[in-house]
Structure 1
Amino acid sequence: MFQFNFSPADSYEETPEAVGSSHQWLPAQKHEPSAAQIQAILDECGIEETTVGQTKIRYVNMESAAKRVQREGTSQFISHIFRDHTDLVPAVYEGGLKIWECTWDLLRYLAASDLQFNGKRVLEVGCGAGLPALFCALQGSHITLQDYNQEVIEQVTVPNVALNLCAAPFNGPPSPSTPTDLATLSSTATFYSGDWGGFVRLLSSQAEITVHEEKRGKCQEQKFDFILTSETIYNPECHQKLLDLLTSCLQEDGLILLAAKSHYFGVGGGTLQFTNFIRQKGQLDVKTHTTNTEGVKREILEMKFKAGKNENVY
């Protein structure tokens, strides 16, 4: 598999789950960034900026990042997008080198809300560029970012976090402060790649280690006050796996915000189908907020535990 010398700190070693007859889900792993490699990416890729409410967010130009991934040599799991000029190959490449429409909907929703993020733990699932999580981090949250493809985490997500949360040299002129910057990065953000099921099991194993080492009861460190995700429900075959992740990782009084289209043509998923699925399972309350009615309707689903229904704990 393509490597950029980012060290996967931990991984969930298991036989990947089969997908169809030719592909397997990628195993989950945790990533520890390298300051020199972050700087190399930022020196090469163009930098863009957006303002959401009063918050400015910087991010690498996605086209230049994709070109870098292609040039550096990619794994079989992501080479399809360059060979076939496609935005998505289910279970192979999950679209992380593009900022999708519903990401912007979620950002605007966060900025317009009265939600308080300072001191909160935020997880963004299928993060790609990680802009919604970065919005929360700039309000004082600790963020955990997960994307299916390792290349996306290494070449896009990590540099974006460094751009916004670290001092020079990452977002300014060179200075001798690199170790401090990397320490800041590690203390405010955590990065994972791989399959959702493996990700949940990896978090669970880390929580069990923490419980053992600190000799305390239920570990809440691997649970989150907010879980954010956008454009992740297009494949109905993955709905149960996503629900398992959401209910396993959410604090008892936490909130899930999911942004998506009402229907994804050609694959069958969408907000209506997912909402019906969630209601049938009976674990979460769900409210729907429409964000766009032109063309394919786009919506944000706001979900939280039903009273007495949080049975998925580590």
Structure 2
Amino acid sequence: MKWFVNDLSLQRQFGSDHEFLGVLQDLLRLRHKSAAVAEGLHCSKSLREAPVTAHSNFREAVQKSADQNLRRAVLEWVASKGPFWEDSRAANADDYFEVQTIDATDTGAGEAARQILIGAAASTYSFQGAAYDYSPLRITHGLSEAPLGQLDVTNVWTVDQLLADAHRLEAAPQNWEQVIERAKRRFDRLAFSSNISEILRGEPFIPYVVERLFELLRVLQEFVESRNADGTYSTETQRLINEHFSGEKAWFSGESDGNENDFRSKLTFRDSDDGEDHFCPWHGKIKTPQFRVHFPWPMESAQKTLKIFYIGPKITKK
């Protein structure tokens, strides 16, 4: 599946550069998490010139951002690496397409139509808030007064919709190596110890465990992302703590004092990156079978990622 960014959906609809950059941040996170989106979301080489606010085009809005990492990542995507649909443009003898009577031939919507005409699977992604928050997107092949045909193209206009599409397309992992690779792509605020693959290699592969593991990792990812820039807790951070880190049925908890003493050596993990030992009694829990995810807690305010040191069978069995 390929998604094509609908250039026509950028019509100066954003009230500020900041509002537009928020949408881009969500898209970038999704590209990091989903290989299907990173490889399948195609844009045009001219997208960076599209108008996004009353005073800025795409490129200008990005360059005004104070976040150097965001500027680099976005411009690398739309100005350097793509993927760009022009690099593999589908041929069509009657190459003219319209959307809402507007010429869409040299846009992502036009390319989606060309791809469908040659039998390929294609959808469009439209930026929200313009006139394209609906699906399917009807694309006219040929002049509107003498059409050659019409195509109804599936269209998504939110990151959640795009993520749902990607999940449907992305095959479930079949072994532990694929699980770890998938986790690294999806959860960019988590770092995984290199010995985790060795721990899991001898364990039976159980799809339910994988499903629960991804849920635990998702909450940890959201926790790290939710903190304020200085590492303090936001309202969302506190909500996650209340919901998942406290109470009898909490997904995450620390070991009892007795277990900390009896299993201290087994709960201490050597970091292959810095050579330091890390005591990690805090863990995420999978009940059947009993699997655990161990990590250092609480996070220091300056930390940008959370290191996962252990994924495997429960350590503190007596």
Give TM-score, length-normalised by structure 2.
0.29
TM-score (norm 1): 0.29
**Bigger fraction of residues in strand:** 1
